[in-house]
Structure 1
Amino acid sequence: MASFGLLRTLGRMADNVNRLFGGDKGFSRIFQRVLGTAPAYWLEQCSALLAPGCDSSEIPAIETFARRASSPPVVSRSVIYCQIAQAISDLTWINPEPMESATTGRSSYQQGVIGMKKIFALLVVASCLALTSPVLAAELSYSGSSTIGTSVLEAGAAAAFTAKSGIKFSKIDQPGSGKGLKALLAGEVPLAGASRPLKPEEKKEKLVGATIGYDAIAVFVHKDNPIKNLNKEQLKGIFTGQIKNWKEVGGKDAVIAPNTEILTGKRATVEMFQELALDGAAYGSGFKEIDLPRDQIVDLANTPNGICSVSLGLLAATSADVRAKVKAITLGGVEPSDKNIQSGAYLISRPLLLVTKGLAKDEPKEFINFMLSVEGQAIVGKNFVPVRK
């Protein structure tokens, strides 16, 4: 499927050529004829267009380029356009002085027009290949926040974006915000996700974040736990290990069993919770550490005296049976409602960012724009607070 952006590019290309050749519609007709046809026909049209204005020895070179552009490992528009640019750099440009060539008998202006025809023939062939060849389908890869990966991308955003643009996600890795941003800086992925604000040192590395929604780190307990609210000091005491029994915070006489994500994993939830709820203090020792935050909720469902802090949006990613066994409590009497999350009234609110190195462009920019569209924001709104309503 051709992307809207590429179709626009082809349209502009046709307009520019028409202007260059005094409104000659022949080139537009060639454009229209070759779209949607077989590769062999593209090459045939390319040869026909070139034949009146170049040596026959030049035709195989153009055909070879076109075939190379349609075969692996070329997998994206950016690679195709780089190849086109390289090929164009070797072709004749218009010389304003109408001098006659001793070898061809043609004026430099005539040669320049022929050169422009070569350029256009090459662009037609390569662009049509980009539009219709299945091996040229553009791809996008993501690494970072599991909150965004699980409850946004895998919850419908990736599939909807592919259906709309033809751009597929080759991978959606969820090692956490910190590791995802490192992968972005290392050039391993063009798009990362962070469920926290960017740090000053990350901004110095020219990382740019686009906020697509807001989330809350909710505090969950088992449904049979009578506790409905904790203030900040109580919450801090539990997760630093200073408070060890539920009776110390008005509950039953039972040892508290916290679980956390892997504390050394540089995940956003761990860092944000430590900063906002623990005032930077270290987590207590001996807590059960679990790799994926969704599995923290599953573990809590089977631990009557447990407690955990997990993205509120991830609750929807668990089974109905699990959701029936846990509950989110209020913090300081404030519930994690959409209004309280967006305003910051809830203690542990945070933005959801799609991050690029430098200003977003190409496929990452298309995806970010999609996520900020009405359709994209509706997907965000299923589990989080959208930026736009």
Structure 2
Amino acid sequence: MSLRAPSALCLTVLLWLTALPSLAEVSGNLVIAGNGPETTTIEALARAFEKQNPRAYVDVLWDDHSKPVDMVKSGDAQLAVTGSEEQGLAAAQIAWDGIVILVHLSNFTKEVTKQQVADLFSGKVKEWSELGGPETKILLIDRPKNQNIRDAFEQQLDIVGKIPDSAKVIAKDDKVVKTVVGTLPPLSATAYISLGQGLSVVSGGVAVRLLAIDKVEPEIPTVSDGRYPLRRPVLLLSKKEPNPLIDAFIQFALSAPGQQIVGESYIPFRRK
């Protein structure tokens, strides 16, 4: 008796049945902690992941003053959203983020060097005229010390611990933008912010501009290929131990649907 080759329908059913055990394993509770500008993206990923995996529950704990990495180490969270790796923890990159320099539209400073940005935010430069700008004093706007965008900004400019205490510390992006717009001469404010937020407010007609650095404009292509000198990875950090739920979430974030969500605010890590 000869055996016939299985039909396409049979193969489909067999593949579906084979996949059932792995789907059943993706269940349980997952806590993701963060404190930076990624909250909207992570919330969207979490809800889409839950929809795809009905037995999985994802809690997103977001606090401007929290320490996500410490929460993972202590077991209070399984994933931390950060911009830099941490010794002893596994790191998975899901996106790129540019760090852009924001000024008021009336500030005719249009470009700076990376070194000038370092001098600016370490307090060495006191007036915009030193950078070819207006005769106004500089008001620095900083971000909270525990936020990942601040860590990456300091490290890449080699100014860790050098941002002056006189800088105005603001956590929320919308308040940062309002402060830059609302600061009038004899002061002119400047701040650093995520690329997506910066491009959004500029395209929305808000009276701000983004400074070119080393003659490179802050744009998606220039950040993606590394020509723009200030960028940070968006990382998911976890303990180095097997966890099917963590693995499944990271795989989803790197899948086509996940990267589409990521691309709403950031530069997908896996671009076509």
For the superposition of Structure 1 and Structure 2, which TM-score range results when normalised by the shorter chain? 0.7 to 0.9
1:264-303 equivalences under 5 Å are 265-280=145-160, 282-303=162-183
Matched, 1:159 2:36: no
Quick one: which amino acid aligns to residue 192 of structure 2? S
Unaligned runs of 5+ residues in structure 1 are 13-75, 78-137
Among residues 29, 33, 41, which one is paired with 1:139 in the alignment? 29
Partner of 2:60: 171
Higher relative contact order (CA closer than 8 Å, sequence separation 6+) = 2
2:190 corresponds to: 307
- Name the counterpart of 2:269: 387
Q: Following superposition of structure 1 onto structure 2, how do residues 198-213 of structure 1 map, counting pairs within 5 Å?
A: 198=85, 202-203=86-87, 205=88, 207-213=89-95
Query: AA paired with 2:165?
Result: S
Q: Matches of residues 83-232 of structure 1 in structure 2 within 5 Å?
A: 138-150=28-40, 152-154=41-43, 156-166=44-54, 167-175=56-64, 179-196=67-84, 198=85, 202-203=86-87, 205=88, 207-232=89-114
Using the alignment, how far apart are the partners of 1:314 and 1:331 within structure 2? 18
Q: State the Cα distance separating 1:333 from its structure 2 match.
A: 0.6
Cα separation, partners in 2 of 1:359 and 1:210, compared to 1, 3 Å: farther
Matching residue's letter, 2:36: S
Correspondence for 2:21: 9
* Preserved CA contact (<8 Å) 1:378 1:386: yes
Q: Identify, as 1 or 2, the structure richer in helix.
A: 1
Higher strand share: 2
- Confirm or deny that 1:257 pairs with 2:139: yes
Please state how far the C-alpha of 1:279 moved relative to its aligned partner. 4.5
CA-CA distance at 1:339 after TM superposition: 3.0
Deviation at 1:284, TM superposition (A): 2.1
For 2:228 and 2:23, locate their aligned partners in 1 and report how far apart those are by CA, in whole Å: 50
Compared CA separation, residues 146 and 235, structure 1 to 2 (3 A): same
Secondary structure (helix, strand or coil) at the match of 1:256 reads strand
Describe the SS at the equivalent of 2:102: strand
Do the aligned partners of residues 281 and 153 (structure 1) sit closer, same or farther apart at CA in structure 2, a change above 3 Å counting?
closer
Checking the alignment, whether the CA contact within 8 Å between 2:102 and 2:198 is kept in structure 1 is no
Matched AA of 1:195: G
Shift of 1:311: 1.5
Aligned pairs (5 A) from 1:340-359: 340-359=222-241
State the AA in 2 paired with 1:185: K
Q: Aligned partners of 2:173, 2:130: CA distance in 1, in Å?
A: 27
Q: Distance in 2 between matches of 1:269 and 1:359?
A: 27
Aligned residues, how many? Answer: 252
TM-score by length of 1: 0.58
State the percentage of identical aligned residues. 24
Q: Which amino acid aligns with 1:190?
A: Q
Amino acid at match of 1:9: P
Kindly indicate whether the alpha-carbon contact (under 8 Å) linking 1:214 and 1:384 is maintained by their aligned counterparts in 2.
yes
**Kept in 2: contact 1:144–1:173 (CA 8 A):** yes
TM-score, L = length of structure 2:
0.81
* Structure 2 gap segments, 5+ residues each: 1-15
